[in-house]
Amino acid sequence: MSHSNTDKLFVKLLATNERHIRSFVRSTGMDWNATEEISQAVAVIMWRKWDKFEVGSDFMKWARGIARFEVLKYRRKMSRDRLVFNEDLIDLLAESSEDLEGELSSKDYTEALQLCIDRLPQRSRQLIQLVYQGEKTIKQIAEEIGKSATSLYKMIDRIRKKLKSCVEARLPPA
């Protein structure tokens, strides 16, 4: 494939997938401004690394890998803001977003996630906040609530599964 044709392919793939990339970034808990900034950075990085992309492989998988790294980099830069989710929640939300690929908008996803979090029992909401928005380790949180780390991981996993089911049930059909 000539250089000109591969450049055209990049533009076509980016144009086709740009909304999905933005949706993926937004699903990691970023606000709209951060999503825009990160998505633009992802596009620039993808263009710089385009010669390393294997034509025919999964473009969105490649894009998500770059986006995940950029989200983490942005989060580290903004780490003084305690409202920014930690890396575990970014990964959790990103994985859920990958599972729910389709024609959903990031606004639909975010609204569904927030609704589902709001509907959790108070104790579950508090655990999610402690684990994903706090600065403490799982071990520290487990000690504070009188549970083992393994028990806390299991509790969080059950909450995650409830959130995932809840979000899937509330999203418009693809």
Helices (H), 28-146: 32-48, 59-77, 87-99, 106-119, 122-133, 138-145
Q: Which two tokens stand for residue 17?
A: 């997938």
Q: Are 69 and 38 in contact (CB under 8 A)?
A: no
> Whose CA is closest to 38, among 53, 50, 26?
26
Q: Within 13 Å and on the Cβ side, how many CA atoms surround 3?
A: 1
Tokens 């906040």, residue located: 129
- pTM of the complete model beyond 0.85: no
SS3 140: helix
Domains within the chain, CATH numbers bracketed: 1-82 (1.10.1740.10), 102-174 (1.10.10.10)
Q: Are 86 and 67 in contact (CB under 8 A)?
A: no
pLDDT given at position 81: 45
Residue-by-residue pLDDT tens, the chain, 174 positions? 556 677 788 888 888 888 889 888 888 777 778 888 899 999 999 999 998 888 888 999 999 999 988 888 887 777 654 444 555 565 566 555 555 554 445 566 667 777 788 788 888 888 877 776 666 777 788 888 898 888 888 888 888 888 888 877 877 665
pLDDT given at position 63: 93
pLDDT given at position 103: 42
Report how far apart, in Å, the C-alpha atoms of 13 and of each of 4, 8, 169 are. Answer: 14, 9, 30
